[in-house]
A and B are shown apart, each in its own frame.
Chain A
Amino acid sequence: MSRRNSITGGFFIGLTAFSAFLIIAAIIILLTVIIIGGKGTFSWEFLTTFPYDGMMKGGIFPAIYGTALLVLIMSVAAVPFGTITAIYLTEYAHEKSKLAQTIRFAVRTLATVPSIIFGLFGLGFFIKFVGGGMDTVFFGGQLKWAQPNILWASLTMALLTLPVVIVSVEEAIRTVPRELREASLALGATKWETIRRIVIPGSRSGIMTGTILAVSRGAGEVAPILFTGAAYYLATLPTSLSDQFMNLGYHIYIMATQSSNVDQTLPIQFATTMVLLLLTFTLNLTAVIIRARLRRKVK
């Protein structure tokens, strides 16, 4: 090999390594800056008190509560449906069938639809169509469900996180050994019994990973709830499904761009961002670890 060649080679490899380094550096800088900016304000009080003085002081408890409620309702909707779809794709559908391929394409498309479109859909479908329909039929045209609330926001978010659940569960189901299924069927269990007793318990960790990833995604997304239920400030916590709610991500957005005292509330903004970032980061890290273990087990 010529000398010139090896210099070019060294330069090229160095360039690729530098690119990888840049990405890692960006991640570390982002994390560090947010944590340094936020840790001064962060305290137990910050997490557990309401904001006061026009959101200039106080904590973010209602935003945390609202986010938790949002991801809870969202998971209740997204996890079962996502799991069942994954079961269909792995256990019932033929790999090459047109239907299965269409469903796979739909899932992948769903994963790439911009989140703001989900917001529009939530507004057009859940609030105007379903909510409006419920109001007309059950409440005699009185305005109750045809407005933004936590139920519609959660369901909108559930649609967004559905592909996350499907992909994770599908991956886990594929790791359940064929022999277990065959043994179960040979012992006389039916297909449904095998799925219920062998496949689902065997892919429990995948369902958990899917749920964690979905929760993390749902906690961080703001665009879908901009006009389907998130509120700027509420003096009380949401008590029914038709209430609006506060949300961590929306809180950050509003405080950083719409409030009149952006500079004064900067420490609060950093602390809120830190809470959201650490929350999603921890959840994702957990999912990554579970997944890595799962993969190692398969090998």
Chain B
Amino acid sequence: MDNQTDKKAFVFTKESLKKKFRWSEFLSEKIITGVAFLSIAIIVLIFFFVFKESLPIFQTRKKEAPKVEQVQKQEQYGEKAKGQTNTSGQEQYGVTTKDTMMIENQVQTADTVTHGSDEATFKSLAGKHWLPVSDNPRYGLIPLFVGTLKITLIAMLFAAPIAILAALFSAAFAPYWLRELIKPAIELLAGFPSVVIGFFALMVMATFFQNIFGYDGRLNAFVGGVAMALAAIPIIFTITEDALTAVPRTYTEASLALGASKWQTALFVILPAATPGIFAAILLGIGRVFGETMIALMATGNAAMTSVNPFESVRTLAATIGAEMAEVVFGDTHYNVLFLIGSLLFIFNFSLNALAEFYVKGKLVKRFQGKQS
């Protein structure tokens, strides 16, 4: 670009008003934009790499699709004894389906340890037994899902009402000075490391609850759930509080002017108006509990059981990864299954977040702008 025009500063020609090209400007803008892309890149990379490591499970299945049915049958019959036998054994011996079931036990003892069949693995994912390190490894995800859901439910039963009511207190009733104390205090709770909460649950809460309820297992879903509620409360509180304070003042004023009392306004006007935000808060709270690892590892007992009793030990998806990843062989089926669990966790969390983001926030904005009832 020619700089000559600049000297006649008082004459603004089209040429002089044009932005000068500067390398420093150009580079800084490009670099800053490039770095900003990093966040998007990380999300994509996380999904790609976590999912990539779980791929081998799917690949073998596709190749030997016709075989799958056979394995399923065995699983049903052999459940009592030892689950399914491995298919590579059958292939070598060349026996028919009927025979397989009869000699199953012999085959099992012979070579289950050495031949890990990916095909059988894939089928066993829907099973009820998580026994990844037994002689005949089974990777049934059902107990892990049940455990995770159970603990999420317990945690949310505690966290959601407490956090939402506390947020309502802070937003609608508390005097200014008290609000200025509650909010930072909860911010500080959000900063408590989950390993500290887990330790507290393991050493203090577990004994305390055992003395009250008198159950056998010291560590169980209930203890874990209550501890997780501590981790979820700050998230639910903060987002709910934001949603409540974002309700336009005109709503409150109109309600009060019509003769409603303060608590009626809070309960029947402010709270309903902020529902989408509260919904988002609960979703994010669920996401937090669902993926929480350290508290689950330390306070739930980690036995993979499928039961509805809240006082029994559970093993969550995240805790399974945390407990077993350090001990598996790289590239092993077990390793792949753990990454598969990771992918599922990631997808679940991503969906929750996307739902909270687009559906709920969109609705909230529309509502306050009066486009929707």
Contacts and interface: CB of A to CB of B under 8 A. Distances in A.
Interface stretch (B66-74, B78-86, B128-136, B344-352): B344-352
Given A120-B50, A124-B52, A280-B193, A253 B187 contact: no
Interface in B156-207: 161-166, 168-170, 172-174, 182, 184-189, 191-200, 202-204
Interface stretch (B108-116, B209-217, B289-297, B304-312): B289-297
A84 to B, nearest CB: 4
A112 interface: yes
B315 interface: no
Contacts of B198: 253
A93 to B, nearest CB: 7
A285 interface: yes
A166 B170 CA distance: 27
Contacts of B28: 192, 195
A27 B326 contact: no
Interface string A32-66: 01100100000000000000000000000000000
Contacts of A246: none
Contacts, number: 272
A174 B164 CA distance: 29
B45 A121 contact: yes
Nearest to B350: A109
B185 to A, nearest CB: 6
Most chain B Cβ neighbours within 10 Å, of A1, A27, A191, A221: A27
A124 B49 contact: yes
Contact of A277 (B37, B193, B288): B193
B96 interface: no
B33 A222 contact: no
B11 interface: no
Contacts of A115: 194, 291, 293
B233 A23 contact: yes
A275 to B, nearest CB: 10
Contact of B291 (A20, A33, A113): A113
Nearest to A230: B326
Nearest to B284: A112
B222 interface: no
A264 interface: no
A202 B230 CA distance: 36
Given A116-B321, A120-B339, A27 B188 contact: yes
Interface residues of B, number: 89
Contacts of A23: 162-163, 166, 182, 185-186, 189, 233, 237
B59 interface: no
B326 A226 contact: yes
Contacts of B200: 30, 33-34, 273
A60 B346 CA distance: 34
B193 A85 contact: no
A190 B23 CA distance: 12
A137 to B, nearest CB: 19
A88 B353 contact: no
Contacts of A226: 293, 322, 325-326
B188 A103 contact: no
Nearest to B235: A112
Interface string A196-223: 0000000000000000010011011111
B103 interface: no
A213 B162 CA distance: 26
A114 interface: yes
Contacts of B287: 112, 114
Q: B interface, by DSSP: helix, strand, loop or mixed?
A: helix
B162 A252 contact: no
A124 B322 contact: no
A9 B263 contact: yes
B53 interface: yes
A79 interface: no
Contact of B325 (A13, A84, A120): A120
Contact of A223 (B32, B293, B350): B293
Contacts of B288: 112
A177 B294 CA distance: 42
Contacts of B325: 119-120, 123, 226-227
B194 A222 contact: yes
Contacts of B290: 114
B50 A124 contact: yes
A114 B166 contact: no
A12 B188 contact: no
A277 B195 CA distance: 10
B261 interface: yes
A17 B173 contact: yes
**6 tightest A-B contacts by CB?**
A114-B291, A220-B193, A16-B169, A88-B36, A284-B191, A19-B165
8 contacts: A24-B182, A106-B42, A114-B291, A115-B293, A116-B293, A120-B325, A128-B53, A281-B192
Interface of B: 22, 24-25, 28-29, 31-33, 35-40, 42-43, 45-46, 49-50, 52-53, 161-166, 168-170, 172-174, 182, 184-189, 191-200, 202-204, 230, 233, 237, 261-264, 267, 284, 287-288, 290-294, 297-298, 318, 321-322, 325-326, 330, 338-339, 342, 345-346, 349-350, 352-354, 357
Given A162-B38, A195-B28, 20 more contacts: A1-B261, A12-B267, A16-B166, A19-B164, A20-B170, A22-B162, A24-B182, A27-B186, A27-B188, A92-B36, A102-B40, A112-B352, A162-B39, A222-B193, A222-B195, A222-B293, A226-B322, A249-B196, A280-B193, A292-B184
